[in-house]
Structure 1
Amino acid sequence: MKTKVLILGAGGAIARHVISALQKNSDIVLTLFARNAEQLHVESSAKIIEGDVLNKEDIGTAVKGQDIVYANLSGPVDQMARSIVATMNTHGVRRLIFVTALGIYNEVTGEFGEWNNRMIGAELVRYRKAADVIENSDLDYTIVRPSWLTNKDETDYETTQKGEAFRGTEVARKAVGTYIAAIILHPGKDVKASVGVNKPGIYGDKPAFY
Structure 2
Amino acid sequence: MKKVIILGAHGKIAQIVTRQLLTEDIKQTLFLRNSARLRLEDPEKESIVEGTATSLFDLEQAMTDVDIVYANLAGKIVEEAQNVVAAMKAKNVKRLIWISTLGIYDEVPGKYGEWNHEQLDGGYLESYAEAAKVIEASGLDYTIIRPAWLDDKDEIDYELTNKDETFKGTEVSRTSVADLVTKIILDPKEYIGTSLGVNKPNTDGDKPAWYR
| Superposition TM-score, scaled by structure 1 size | 0.97
User: Counterpart of 1:14?
Assistant: 13
Give the residue type in structure 2 aligned to 1:160: T
Q: Which 10-residue stretch deviates more, 115-124 or 33-42? A: 33-42
- What does 1:1-210 align with in structure 2 at a 5 Å threshold? 2-25=1-24, 27-45=25-43, 46-122=46-122, 123-210=124-211
Cα RMSD after superposing both structures: 0.8
The answer (yes or no) to whether the contact 1:147–1:171 under 8 Å persists in 2 is yes
Partners in 2 of 1:12 and 1:21 — Cα distance? 14
Aligned-pair CA distance for 1:203? 1.0
Q: Work out whether residues 161 and 168 of structure 2, in 8 Å CA contact, stay in contact via their aligned partners in 1.
A: no
Question: Counterparts of 2:56 and 2:151 in 1: how far apart (Å)?
Answer: 34
Deviation at 1:24, TM superposition (A): 2.2
d(CA) in 1 for partners of 2:13 and 2:39? 14
Separation (CA, whole Å) in 2 of partners of 1:56 and 1:146: 27
Contact 1:24 1:44 in 2 (8 A): no
Q: CA deviation at 1:41?
A: 2.9
* 1:42-96, Cα deviation, whole Å (9 max, x unpaired): 3112010011111122111111210000000111111100000011001100000
CA distance in 2, matches of 1:62, 1:136: 23
Shift, 1:11, TM fit: 0.1
Instruction: Say if 2:70 and 2:97, in contact at 8 Å, map to a contact too.
Output: yes
Q: 1: distance between equivalents of 2:183 and 2:81? A: 22
Kept in 1, the 8 Å contact 2:40–2:47? The answer is no
Please give the alpha-carbon distance, in whole angstroms, between the structure 1 residues aligned to 2:126 and 2:96.
Answer: 21
Cα distance in 2 for residues equivalent to 1:6 and 1:149 = 23
Could you tell me how far apart the structure 2 residues matched to 1:28 and 1:95 are? 15
- Gaps in structure 2 of 5+ consecutive residues: none
Percent identity between matched residues is: 49
Deviations 1:132-170 (A, max 9, x none): 000001100000000000000001111000010002100
The Cα shift of 1:101 comes to 0.3
With normalisation by structure 2, the TM-score equals 0.96
